[in-house]
Amino acid sequence: MTEVKLEELSDEALLKREKMVSSVTYTLAGMLLVLFCLGLFLTFKKGFTPLTVIPIALSPIILTNLVSIKKIKAERKLRNL
């Protein structure tokens, strides 16, 4: 997958990208938190399940997206948006 250079995006595209990445990241974080809680509940109720590992395995996606949001905000500040 090719990485989009933030410097090449228009102002509108940059703002749209920030909004999209932010909403996806925070939604994913919320869903993984719910999944983690359900996994812990099932672990105490029935013992270890593979469901417990899924949120831990998917958490690097959130970290990557948070770094991307930070870069977008830095570009916005550079452009005075």
In a domain, 3, yes or no: no
In a domain, 6, yes or no: no
In a domain, 77, yes or no: yes
In a domain, 50, yes or no: yes
- For residue range 15-71, list pLDDT tens digits in order: 899 999 999 999 999 999 999 998 889 889 988 888 788 888 999 999 999 999 999
CA 52 to CA 79: how far, in whole Å?
A: 43
What pLDDT score does 2 carry? 56
In a domain, 56, yes or no: yes
CA 41 to CA 36: how far, in whole Å?
A: 9
In a domain, 22, yes or no: no
Helices 11-46, 53-79: inter-axial angle, 10-degree rounding: 160
In a domain, 81, yes or no: yes
The per-residue DSSP string of 15-75 comes to HHHHHHHHHHHHHHHHHHHHHHHHHHHHHHHHS--GGGHHHHHHHHHHHHHHHHHHHHHHH
Q: Please tell me the pTM assigned to this model.
A: 0.79
Instruction: Work out how many domains the chain is built from and give that number.
Output: 1
- For residue range 3-22, list pLDDT tens digits in order: 778 777 788 888 899 999 99
